[in-house]
Amino acid sequence: MVVCMLDDRCDCLLDFINRECSEGSYRVFDPSELIAAFPAEYAVDSDGLFLMLDYLAERDYVVVKYRDGEAVCLAPLPKGRRYHEEKQEAGRREADQERFVRRSFWAGAAGGGLGGLLGGLLVLLAALC
């Protein structure tokens, strides 16, 4: 269960950091590389990026070792990894539930159709005898 929900921009940034730091170790990013990870509709600039990094660091999702205008050295913390993993697990559970509902619908429809067909055949056989 996800403990704290993040807004879409912070969520996108944290997902990118988790993907790029897959071993959980520190990595040096160029701020433009982090900004490029966002969809165009988010219109993130460097000031917004540094505010999001501060937000994630204050809440123990990432640790920022150092940052300046040209480089950011950071790593995801266990809370940030857990958030990422729980979000993926929730997506899998949701997909499994949707698949179950679809299969139940089609099984019910097939059973109803087969029952109607068999009932019709019985009525036809009764009428012929």
Predicted confidence (pLDDT) per residue in 4-39, tens digit: 677 888 888 998 998 888 777 888 998 888 888 888
Choice between 122 and 3, residue whose per-residue pLDDT is larger: 122
CA-to-CA separations, 115 to 3, 27, 105, in angstroms, rounded? 48, 62, 15
pTM: 0.64
pLDDT of 80 > 80? The answer is yes
Choice between 3 and 60, residue whose per-residue pLDDT is larger: 60
Domains detected in the chain: 1-129 (1.10.10.10)
Query: Could you tell me the two tokens for 82?
Result: 């857990």
Round to whole Å and give the CA distance between 129 and 124.
9
At residue 1, the pLDDT reads: 43
